[in-house]
Amino acid sequence: MIAEMVKPQIEQCCAPAFHPTLSREQAQQVATLFAALADPHRLSILNLLAESRAEVCVCDITSSFKLGQPTISHHLRILKEAGLVESDKRGKWVYYYLVKHKAEEVKTLLDQVTSTSH
């Protein structure tokens, strides 16, 4: 007869004192947004757009980096899907600009994620 193994009860060190202030849905939204920011090229593109006083032509964005046009377009698509940039097509060129309220939202979200209430 095989003896049943008895799992020892694991004693918790203490009761959890804190709980996350973000809901699961909020955390997923923040993670998706931060994933779009988790690339040095995308951060540089955002910085370029933030520093510009007007929309920036995709040709100027491409010429500012040592990346091919398809790669720049890929990064811009991710930033656009995250709501961080918008574009305006003028003839054959596309002009991009930073969505300022979304940039402010990122700052607020980061503050919310890292805030301490104690």
pLDDT in tens, 51-88: 998 999 999 999 999 999 999 999 999 999 999 999 99
Q: Say if 79 falls within a structural domain.
A: yes
pLDDT, residue 117, reads 59
Q: Say if 101 falls within a structural domain.
A: yes
**Count of the separate structural domains present in the chain:** 1
Residue-range definition of the domain harbouring residue 31: 27-114
- Is the pLDDT score of 118 beyond 60? no
Q: Say if 9 falls within a structural domain.
A: no
Which has the higher per-residue pLDDT, 112 or 84?
Answer: 84
Please report, for the domain that includes residue 103, its CATH number: 1.10.10.10
Q: Say if 32 falls within a structural domain.
A: yes
Q: Say if 20 falls within a structural domain.
A: no
Instruction: Let me know if 94 is exposed, middle or buried by CB neighbors in 10 A (0-12, 13-18, 19+).
Output: middle
Q: Say if 94 falls within a structural domain.
A: yes
Q: Please tell me the least confidently modeled range out of 43-47, 79-83, 104-108, 112-116.
A: 112-116
4 φ, ψ (degrees, to nearest 5): -75, 140
Rounded Cα distance between 39 and 57, Å, is: 21
Q: Say if 1 falls within a structural domain.
A: no
Q: Say if 19 falls within a structural domain.
A: no
14-44 pLDDT, tens digit per residue, is 766 677 777 888 888 888 888 999 999 999 9
93-98 sheet: strands from edge to edge: 56-57, 93-98, 85-90
pLDDT, residue 93, reads 95
